[in-house]
Every structure is written in structure tokens, then in C-alpha cells.
Amino acid sequence: MKKSKFNLANDNKKNDETSRIVCLGIETTAHTFGVSIAVEENGQGKILSNVRDSYTTKKGGMIPNQAADHHVDVCDVVLKKSLDEAKIKIDDVDVICFSQGPGIGHTLRIGAFFARCLAHMFGKPLVGVNHCIAHLEIARLVTDATDPVLLYVSGANTQVIAYEGQKYRIFGETLDIGIGNFLDCFARELDLGFPGGPHVYELSLKSKKYIELPYVVKGMDVSFGGLLTNLKQKIHKSAFGKEYTKEDLCFSAQETTFAMLVEVAERALNHCDKRELVLGGGVACNKRLQEMCHKMCKDAGFKFYVPEPQYLIDNAAMIAWLGLLEFKVGNILNVEDSKDSKMLPYWRTDDVIVNWR
């Protein structure tokens, strides 16, 4: 990462206790286009606005170029709404941040382009942040957790992350698909539309009948691919043989996968010797997953935190907040060099040196 003319790491004015830093964050790693304004005033962080517009479908999954078209369609309106809600003018913004990766290339490109245009046009510094780390940092802002293990459960990602030696390290993760992708594919097979997680949850509430399913935990890693194949076979059978109801399958799929996630989260907490668990990612909105994590933490003596849903699903507030933290230590991209701000679809959580903690 090159340093641009906007290196504020040594700018005493900004490091002053009474200073105010205003940050505009842009999120486009997948289905959500979001813009948020975060501020730090007298050492206190605050989210002033967190506006999003998400691509959805009634049937089938997400088509990447359609999601990108969606982001192009809504970007100006979302930007204006976010500035208006925060009562901030673009001139008052100190820094523009965007989620540089990981994510879907089609949609990441829109965010990187939009952010660089704004930085250029308005003469603002530009910060590219790691989306996965942003999930953890927003949890540290909006809950009382200080040094938590994050169970990060979204569409593409399923990771157990904790801070250790200047990095957010991945202690466990999925060996194939993310839990959200699993739920979305399963829901698509049941003709439930995208995103599938909330539909699966609604149907699960109507059953208490557990159907035995494959349970795959390897150390602190999990795998959902075989389970998805198994469920597809059962759905197929139910269509013809009427052996399994949608409700029983939804209930059992949740119970199995969430038990796997709780098991690896508990193992990571003990392994890392941490005392706090936080949830992040869209699947963390699921009340049953929250309940199971809560019970494990209560039994084992850990503290458990769930940020409110607007900070769990993909959101620009976490991008703005992490961007602000990184801006303060001078992690600034060179706006003049387009390669410096290019998207990083495969950017790993543990590739980032955490120099702001």
C-alpha cells in the first residue's frame, strides 16, 4: 500500500482529543449497495447513517451481473439519502472508504470505481478496507466486547476469527461453501426465493421433528457440501415419496448446521483463551442460532454479544468505521494510481496487518 499526499498519521490536529473525523463508507461486496457516515468525536465513535439497498429475487439465486446493475442503478440515491440522514455535506467528509474485498468481482468493481471517483472529484483521501475484518470491528464499536472471538456467518463466508499477534486470524472456517450459501441453495431447492435464510427460519418454526443429517466438524473447521447434497436427495424423495416435509427439513438443517457452528466457536474460545463471543454476518440474524450460542456461552461462562441486525447483514457502517480507524493510522491508498485501489476478491482476513489496535 502506497502512501498518498493525505498521510494523516502524524497530523496532530486529527490526533487531538477534541478533533472530529467524518468518514463516508461504501459497501458492495455482494447483494448490498450501502453508504454510511461514521464519525469520531472526542475519541467516541458513532454511526450517523447506515443506508442500504439490496438486490433480491423472488425465485432463484443471485446473478452477479444483475446485482452489479442494481448497484449502478441505486448508487446516487443511496449516497444522497445517507448524507441527508447524517446531516453531512460531502465537503465535510474527511475520508472516503470502500470494501476492497473479499467478494464478488462484478459488484466489488462498482464500489471501487464509485469510491475512487468520489475521492478524485472531491479531493478526499481513499481507504480500502477488508470486509471480514469490518464485521469484527463494528461489533467492537456497538457492543461492550473488547477482544472477542467472532463467529462470522454470512453468505460467502463462515469463519471463526480472533485477534492474535497483530492480525485477525482465522482459527476455523468452512472447507467448502459458506453457511448462508448453504441456506440459500437449500432454499432454492425448496423454491423459496433469495435470500433463503429467513424463509428457512420461518418454516423451521413449524416443526420439532429432527431428521438425522450428516454432521461434519474437523477440528475448528466445518463443511456443508455433503449435507447440501444429502438434503437435495431428501427433497427429491419428498416430492415423490412424501417422506419429508419442508418444515422438518428446514428445522433439521438448522439444528445440524448451527450445532456445528456452536461447537467450533466454543473450541476456538478455549483455544484462544478468550472470554467473549460475538456474532457477525447475515445468518447471525437467525434467532435459533443466537439462542444456541447464548446457551453455550452461559453454560461455559463466556460473555455473548449480538449487534443489532443492521450491523450483522452486509452494511456500510462497518466499512465507514474500519475505514476511519485505518485512516487515523495512515493506511491510505494512492488515488492517482488506479492499481492501488483495485478490488481484491480473494483478500484473506489474515493477510491484513492490524496496525490500528
Query: Taking the complex as a whole, how short is the minimal distance between the CB of residue 207 and ligand ATP, in angstroms?
Result: 16
Cα 268 → chain centroid: 19
Are the beta carbons of 112 and 98 closer than 8 angstroms?
yes
34: partner contacted, choices Fe ion, ligand ATP, none (Cβ within 5-8 A by kind): none
Q: Please work out the total of residues on this chain that contact ligand ATP, with binding judged by CB under 6 A.
A: 24
Query: Taking the complex as a whole, how short is the minimal distance between the CB of residue 295 and ligand ATP, in angstroms?
Result: 18
DSSP-assigned letter for residue 195: S
Task: Lay out the site mask for Fe ion across 293-332 (x = CB under 5 A, - = otherwise).
Answer: ---------------------x------------------
Determine the Cα–Cα distance for residues 201 and 348; give it in Å rounded to an integer.
30
Residue 158 grid cell: 463462515
- Give the list of residues 6+ apart from residue 295 with CB closer than 8 angstroms, or none: none
Q: Are strands 20-27 and 217-218 parallel, antiparallel or unpaired?
A: unpaired
Element (H, E) at 277: strand 276-280
Q: How many of the other CB atoms lie within 10 Å of CB of 39?
A: 21
- Which residues ranging from 275 to 314 are in contact with ligand ATP (CB under 6 A)? 281-283, 285-286, 313-314
Q: Which residues of 109-130 are buried (b: 16+ CB within 10 A; e: fewer)?
A: bbbbbbbbebbeeeebbbbbbb
Task: Lay out the site mask for ligand ATP across 17-36 (x = CB under 6 A, - = otherwise).
Answer: ------------xxx-----
Please give the angle made by the CA atoms of 246, 251 and 252, to the nearest 5 degrees: 100
Residue 154 makes contact with Fe ion by CB under 5 A: yes
198: partner contacted, choices Fe ion, ligand ATP, none (Cβ within 5-8 A by kind): ligand ATP
For Fe ion, the closer of residues 141 and 216 by Cβ is 141
Contact with ligand ATP (CB under 6 A) among 157, 256, 257, 331: 157
- Give the list of residues 6+ apart from residue 93 with CB closer than 8 angstroms, or none: 22, 23, 24, 37, 122, 124
Contact with ligand ATP (CB under 6 A) among 48, 118, 119, 156: 156
Residue carrying the nine cell digits 424463509: 199
Query: Taking the complex as a whole, how short is the minimal distance between the CB of residue 154 and Fe ion, in angstroms?
Result: 4
Query: Taking the complex as a whole, how short is the minimal distance between the CB of residue 195 and ligand ATP, in angstroms?
Result: 3
Residue 67 grid cell: 446485482
Task: Lay out the site mask for ligand ATP across 71-110 (x = CB under 6 A, - = otherwise).
Answer: --------------------------------x-------
Binding site for Fe ion (CB under 5 A): 154, 314
Binding site for ligand ATP (CB under 6 A): 29-31, 103, 131, 154-157, 180, 183-184, 195-198, 201, 281-283, 285-286, 313-314
